[in-house]
Amino acid sequence: MSIRRLVVTAAAMAGIGAVLAALTPALPVLTGAVTAAQRTVDTQGPDVLIASAAGLLAWAVWAWGVLGLALTVASAVPGAVGGAARVVLHAALPAGARRSAAVLLGIGLWITAPLVTAALPTLAPTASAAAPVQDVPDWPAPAPAAAPLPDWPAAAAPATASPAPGQRVVVRGDCLWHIAADSLLGQLGRLPTAGEIASAVDTWWHANADVIGPDPDRLLPGQVLRVPGPP
């Protein structure tokens, strides 16, 4: 390689290095973003991860080119040092590969420069391994299970040990039909007929509409019902 060509190549590599330094953050920041890929995607988005990988790849190709240039200069030194440099140069960096790397580096800079410029400013030095960020879970933590609701509302505590005269306290399993049938049995001294029970149910409901509500089939434990007078 002639001196003129060597100087031009060295200047070109220096210019490319300056462009990379201007476009990309420090190498530790890029390395931290790529090594913690999942954290980078979760906290900053996939564009930052792609841009970081592109920046690292560009630096790797540039370093490979610089190594080839240094070996080329060393191969011109007479003696064992030059011979060893020529062996390493032809084995690790053949001429065709060096030209291809130069072309790929130029194309890569042209394609990735807008992406790197847009995405990498969001990478602050705190994103590197020196300042770890708490990992973001892949899935949100499950909400605490709500306490199971009881089948029936809790029975109101009775004011006295037994209901007052003329009152009936509803217990679990009660319905107006059974309450009316028991009341008629005590009044008539015999088993009441279905018609008599149905009429008594209507009487019980109207006497306690303010407690039972619009649905006579819905009784709640603890409700206190007034015993209607005899028909």
So what's the pLDDT on residue 203?
Answer: 92
- 189 CB neighbour count, 10 Å cutoff: 7
- pLDDT tens per residue, range 94-123: 666 555 655 555 555 555 555 555 555 555
Residues 152-182 pLDDT 10s: 544 444 444 467 778 889 999 888 899 988 8
Whole-model pTM above 0.75?
A: no
The answer to whether residues 108 and 54 touch, using CB atoms and an 8 Å cutoff, is: yes
Output the pLDDT for position 31: 87
Q: What is the pLDDT at residue 130?
A: 42
Q: For the chain, what percent of residues have pLDDT higher than 70?
A: 65
The answer, yes or no, to whether residue 46 has pLDDT greater than 50, is yes
Residue 212 in tokens: 């039972």
**Cα 214 to Cα 219: distance, rounded to the nearest angstrom:** 11
| Residue 112 to residue 90: CA distance in whole angstroms | 30
Higher local confidence (pLDDT), 61 or 109: 61
Q: Residue 146's Cα: distance from chain center in Å?
A: 22
- Phi and psi at residue 82, to the nearest 5°: -65, -40
Instruction: Provide mean pLDDT across the span 187-195.
Output: 87
Low-confidence winner among 26-30, 147-151, 157-161 (lowest mean pLDDT): 157-161
Rounded to whole angstroms, the Cα distance separating 49 from 32 reads 10
